[in-house]
Copies of this chain bind each other. A is one copy, B any other.
Amino acid sequence: MSEDKSNQYNAPTEVKEIDIVNTFELEELAKEVMPSGGYGYISGGSGDEYTKKQNIDSFNHKGILPRVLADVENPDTKTTILGHNIPAPFIMAPIAAHGLAHATKEAGTARGVSEYGTIMSISAYSGATFEEIEEGLKGSPRWFQLYMSKDDELNKLIVDEAKKDGATAIILTADATLSGNRETDIRNKFVYPFGMPIVSRYLSGSGENMSLNNIYAQSKQKISPKDVEFLTSYSGLPVIVKGIQTPEDALLAIGVGASGVWVSNHGGRQLDGAPGSFDTLAEISRAVGNRVPIIFDSGIRRGEHIFKALASGADIVALGRPMLYGLALGGWKGVQSVLEYFETDLKRVMQLAGTQTIEDIKHAKLFDNARYK
C-alpha cells in the first residue's frame, strides 16, 4: 500500500554515480528531481531558519591554521567509533522518510552506506522495514535511532526488533519531543506519502497521510534521564543521546549511563534561535573530557567542516541532508558518491592542513576569527 502511495508521490528512481563539485549544488540539483513537498520537508528548517543558516555560517567563526613542513603524505582518514572501524570519521545521520528522496527508500541509502563501509543510522521514522533496509545493508553495521512511544512496553518491542536486526547502539533523540516550527511544511500542507512501519505500532495509523506535527505528538514528550537508564538497562546496548547542545546535558547524560554524546540541533529543524551547532561544540567537548565519544552533526557540507568539528572535540560527524540529496540524484550509487566526495575532500584538507591522522586533527589548533572582526 505504501508502495502505491510512493508511486503516486513520484519519488526519483534513477541509480547512478554522481559527479559532485560541492554539496551545495547537490541541493539545487535534488530540488529539480524531487517532488516539492518532499524537498521542502528535507531541506527546510524551522522558524526564520536562523539556526539552520548559522549551522553553516558558524564554521567560519573559526579558521583552520594550515601547518606546513608537516611531513604529511596520503593522510589516513580511518577511525574507530564504539568498536566499529570505519574508513572515515563520518556516518549516516538518522533521517526520517528516505522514500521522499528515492523510491528505494532507506534500503537505497543503506546500500550506499554499506558499499562505502560506514555506519547506517536507522531512524524510527523510517519508511522501510528493518527487513527492507537489510536488503541494502547486507550485514553492515547499523545504529538504531529511537523516537520513544509514550508506552514503554511498545518501546521494549521496538528495541527488541532493532536488536534482532543487529543494531549495535541506540540513538535516543532528545531534542525533538515535538515538531519544530517548519513553515515550509505548513505551507505545503505536507503529509508523509507512506507509512512508518517501525513506529506504526504506537501511531493512530500507519503514518501515511499524517503530518509531522501529528506523528511527533503521538511519540513521547517527557524524555528524561530515566529514559536513558531504561534504554541502557533494557537494551544492553550503548545508548547515545542525540540533540545535546549544552555542557550540562552532556554531563547529565553521561551521569546516567550514556555511552555517547551527540551534539546536534537537528539541522536547524527544531528550535530556531538556538546557536549554530558548531558554536556549542567546543565547550561541550571540554565538559565531556573524552569520557565518551562525541558525534556531531548540523551543517557539515565540506571536508573543512569535518576538520573543524574534529578539531573542536567531535570524534566523528554524521551526514544528513547531503546524503539524501545524493540518494535523490543517484539512489545507492549517489549515496556512495557523496561519501566518497567527503572522503576525498577531507583527505585534501588533511594534507593541506598538515595532519596525517584523525588523531592529528583532534590536536589541531583553530584560529579564533571572533578576535579579529
Instruction: Report how many copies the assembly holds.
Output: 4
**Interface assignment of A115: CB less than 8 Å from any CB of chain B:** no
A69 touches B273 (CB 8 A): no
B177 touches A71 (CB 8 A): no
A174 to B67, CA, bound (A): 9
B372 touches A58 (CB 8 A): yes
**Interface assignment of A21: CB less than 8 Å from any CB of chain B:** yes
Binds B, one of A157-165, A248-256, A326-334: A248-256
- Taking a contact as CB atoms closer than 8 A, the residue among B22, B59, B66 that contacts A265 in the complex is B66
B353 touches A271 (CB 8 A): yes
Known contacts: A21-B183, A21-B186, A187-B21. The answer to whether A275 contacts B65 by CB under 8 A is yes
B302 touches A68 (CB 8 A): no
Contacts of A65 in B (CB 8 A): 245-246, 274-275, 280
A68 touches B241 (CB 8 A): yes
**Interface assignment of A60: CB less than 8 Å from any CB of chain B:** yes
Question: What residue in chain B is nearest A183 (Cβ atoms)?
Answer: B21
Binds B, one of A27-35, A79-87, A95-103, A343-351: A343-351
Contacts of A348 in B (CB 8 A): 178-181
Contacts of A73 in B (CB 8 A): 177, 221-222
Binds B, one of A37-45, A137-145, A198-206, A363-371: A363-371
A223 touches B181 (CB 8 A): no
Contacts of A215 in B (CB 8 A): none
B271 touches A304 (CB 8 A): yes
**Interface assignment of A61: CB less than 8 Å from any CB of chain B:** yes
Contacts of A67 in B (CB 8 A): 246, 248-249
Q: Which of A44-59 contact B (CB under 8 A)?
A: 47-48, 50-51, 58-59
Partner-B contacts on A (CB < 8 A): 21-22, 47-48, 50-51, 58-61, 63-74, 174-181, 183, 186-187, 221-225, 227-228, 241, 243-246, 248-249, 252-253, 265, 270-276, 279-280, 302-304, 307-308, 345, 348-349, 351-353, 365, 367, 369-373
